[in-house]
């Protein structure tokens, strides 16, 4: 666990987040992942601790946490449960930030206060099926009728869209004006016409509800427009900066959890008469992963400090991305989880690697995982897969298929992590016609 004293930030808040994460999040992260939802008590407790008002000023009932503390708080929460940190991150920034920065006093009173107090969860609906990276390509239409707008359209990948609270969304108000024809709005998630079309089936972070949304003749009052007509694109882009700091801080927390698991395993696991951490090759990998993790943390904190000082942090995040590209071969800080630290953790954990899926599952596609394992244990004749007790059956089936392709001659073997009983995956495995062994 890192020593935060030299990082800056409010140690009281960070200690509180660490304790909450260790006591309330980590022990139930696997069960939460399996259930695919975050318990309302956890959301309520985060409200009481002030986490849901982290980026909101005290004037609007927020806890006014500075950007460095906020980044470290998200790292702590993500180390305990990546899904909970995702809810927290999207709620605070961009959602609450949009309302505080661009809402008028009446809107802040009505929409922001309850979110900052934790009485509801905020969502941010920008992405659409045809508009991801290119956020200007929206098709959702808000047509003005008197003092109302009638909204129709589809949004995709919206975090917490189904968790009670409110959603800031973006729609086209003037199709002829391109980027300048987009406007921002806010709506209660229980409004007629706000329809959850689908909950996405994800590989990981399953307790964070990611939804496809449909707006079906959803009628809203013009008072629910944030800023002037045509300001939507500017509003959306200007608030993504602190959102990116949050996402990067989460990635650091997830990577840290994976590495801590790997270190604990390497200290415990014996081979050739000693703990595997004492084999130099294993130690080198862990030190390398730790170095990359610390580099990523410092880049995130650098961006957070710039933001604290009121300087633009987007450039620093760009620099962070560039450095990450050099470090990891990926263009995102998040890549550190998927591209470097987690595979290192998995290599160290060897056959125990899959026990980390609950923590870093989102970072892996089964095909990618199989390629990493194949590179790590080239020529292996036996690949042993340890299935976590909570299991992720669909994922494991896919993974075993990929491992079979990567190791055509190998025996795929496995047990659950306690070595007790036969996991149902292996009954299924045995039923396959290809070589399988339990």
Positions touching ligand FAD (CB under 6 A) are 90, 124-127, 132-133, 157-159, 205, 210
Q: 168 or 429: whose CB is closer to ligand FAD? A: 168
Task: List the alpha helices (DSSP H) in 132-239.
Answer: 232-238
State in angstroms the smallest separation of the CB of 158 from ligand FAD: 5
| Least distance from ligand FAD to the Cβ atom of residue 143, Å | 21
Nearest residue (CB) to ligand FAD, 200 versus 216: 200
The string of DSSP letters for 295-326 reads HHHHHHHHHHHHHHTT---HHHHHHHHHHHHH
In the complex with ligand FAD, which residue's Cβ is closer, 154 or 323? 154
Task: Between 69 and 210, name the residue whose CB sits nearer to ligand FAD.
Answer: 210
Residue showing the smallest CB distance to ligand FAD in the complex: 132
Residue 341 Cβ, how far from ligand FAD at the closest point, in Å?
19
Length of the chain: 438
Q: What share of the chain is helix, strand, coil (3-state, %, to 5)?
A: 55, 15, 25
CB of 280 to ligand FAD, least distance (A): 37
In DSSP notation, 29-57 reads HHHHHHHTS--HHHHHHHHHHTGGGTTS-
Name the minimum Å distance from CB 12 to ligand FAD.
30
Q: Which C-beta is closer to ligand FAD: that of 90 or that of 257?
A: 90
CB of 210 to ligand FAD, least distance (A): 5
Distance CA 312, CA 212 (A): 32
CB neighbourhood size of 7 (10 A): 19
- Whether residue 226 contacts residue 103, with contact meaning beta carbons closer than 8 Å, is answered with yes
Q: Which is nearer to ligand FAD, 157 or 428 (CB)?
A: 157
DSSP state letter for 23: I
Q: How far apart are CA 414 and CA 371, in angstroms?
A: 19
In angstroms, the CA 134 to CA 95 distance is 19
């Amino acid at each position: 666990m890192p020593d935060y004293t030299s990082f800056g930030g409010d140690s009281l808040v960070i200690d509180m987040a660490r304790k909450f994460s260790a006591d309330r999040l980590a022990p139930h992260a696997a069960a939460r992942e399996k259930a695919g939802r975050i318990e309302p008590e956890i959301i309520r407790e985060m409200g009481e601790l002030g986490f849901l008002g982290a980026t909101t000023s005290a004037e609007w009932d927020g806890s006014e946490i500075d950007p460095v503390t906020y980044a470290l708080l998200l790292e702590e929460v993500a180390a305990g449960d990546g899904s909970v940190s995702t809810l927290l991150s999207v709620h605070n920034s961009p959602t609450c930030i949009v309302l505080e920065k661009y809402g008028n006093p009446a809107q802040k009173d009505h929409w922001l206060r309850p979110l900052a107090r934790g009485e509801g969860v905020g969502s941010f609906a920008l992405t659409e099926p045809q508009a991801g990276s290119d956020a200007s390509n929206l098709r959702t239409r808000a047509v003005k009728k008197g003092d109302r707008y009638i909204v129709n359209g589809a949004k995709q990948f919206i975090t917490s869209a189904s968790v009670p609270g409110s959603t800031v969304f973006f729609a086209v108000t003037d199709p002829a004006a391109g980027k300048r024809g987009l406007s921002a709005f806010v709506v209660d998630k229980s409004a007629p016409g706000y329809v959850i079309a689908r909950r996405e089936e994800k590989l990981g972070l399953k307790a964070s509800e990611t939804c496809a949304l449909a707006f079906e003749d959803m009628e809203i009052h013009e008072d629910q427009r944030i800023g002037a007509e045509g300001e939507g694109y500017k509003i959306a882009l200007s608030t993504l900066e602190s959102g990116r700091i949050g996402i990067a801080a989460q990635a650091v927390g997830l990577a840290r959890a994976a590495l801590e698991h790997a270190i604990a395993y390497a200290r415990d696991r014996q081979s050739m008469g000693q703990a595997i951490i004492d084999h130099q090759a294993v130690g080198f990998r862990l030190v390398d992963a730790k170095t990359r993790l610390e580099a990523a943390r410092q880049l995130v904190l650098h961006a957070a400090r710039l933001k604290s000082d009121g300087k633009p942090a987007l450039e620093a995040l760009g620099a962070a991305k560039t450095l990450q590209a050099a470090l990891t071969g990926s263009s995102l800080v998040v890549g550190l989880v998927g591209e470097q630290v987690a595979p290192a953790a998995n290599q160290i954990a060897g056959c125990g690697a899959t026990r980390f899926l609950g923590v870093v599952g989102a970072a892996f596609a089964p095909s990618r995982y199989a390629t990493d394992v194949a590179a790590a244990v080239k020529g292996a004749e036996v690949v042993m897969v340890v299935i976590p007790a909570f299991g992720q059956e669909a994922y494991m089936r896919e993974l075993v298929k990929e491992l079979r392709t990567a190791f055509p001659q190998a025996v795929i073997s496995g047990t659950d992590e306690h070595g007790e009983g036969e996991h149902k995956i292996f009954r299924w495995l045995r039923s396959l016609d290809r070589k399988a062994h339990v």
